Amino acid sequence: MNKTAAETRAFLNEFIPLVEHANNIDIVIAPPFTSIYAAAGLVANSSIHLAAQNMYYEEKGAYTGEIAPSMLTDAGCSHVIIGHSERRQYFKETDDIINRKTKIARKHDLKVIFCIGESLDEREAGKTFDVLNREILEGLKDVPSEGIIVAYEPIWAIGTGKTATTEQAQDAHHYIRERLAALYGAAADEIRILYGGSVTPDNIDALMNCADVDGALVGGASLKADSFSRIVKFKTNL
């Protein structure tokens, strides 16, 4: 819940020139609903894609305060984030709700950034893989692999300043890749797995050197053009 329409325009006017030469990198930004139109006008002639932070699982109707998938595509979105830990935590979204949202998003050709991750209590209880397995199987039930991007966001590392070690991130991503392979077979090789959890310019290089980390879901560090552009232009083979 950051950036008015005016602030979004100011951010993009600064950010777009900083990443215009970032070749072979897919950049997706997800402003709040009220700033999507403002962003769409500025990214239209760039390589940046536009996402919404959430949506509802019905086409239209008496669902006051909700946003339909067709409204997102009409506004210029190509992606939508579904199942973010904050939606699960604060708004009590279940795996079934997330599954329904994912299905209708794909029906409207929206690419889904599908978020999964464990809490600190679950990690300390040794339940990380159990949680990830459940969220994958129930959240992606009857959902084809096409258009799915998975984001692993350990809840204990979001906005806390704590970051999973590269070993913890790699272990979780490797497990997720195995579960996706069990679900989709060879098609799972085309699914990107992003890491999200206090990603910063200081840790992005090490994270992106993990074999099974394909990208990042960036939170607070994406609010400033200079820090976000440094993350986009990460360095590998350190």
Phi first, then psi, for residue 63 (nearest 5°) are: -125, 70
CA distance 105 to 114: 11
52, 81 in Cβ contact below 8 A?
A: yes
CA angle 22, 23, 27 (to 5 degrees): 65
* Residue of 160, 109, 112, 108 whose CA lies nearest to 136: 112
What 3-state class would DSSP assign to 86?
helix
Check if 153 is active-site: yes
- Pairwise CA distance, residues 74 & 147, whole Å: 18
20 is catalytic: no
| Distance separating alpha carbons of residues 72 and 80, to the nearest angstrom | 8
Beta strand 27-29 pairing with 111-116? unpaired
Q: Which of 79, 118, 153, 173 is catalytic?
A: 153
Residue 149 near residue 194 (C-beta atoms within 8 A): yes
Options 84, 93, 135, 173, the catalytic residue:
84
Q: Give the CB-side neighbour count of residue 237, counting CA atoms within 13 A.
A: 0
Q: Name 50's bridge partners.
A: 29
Active-site residues, by number, are 84, 153
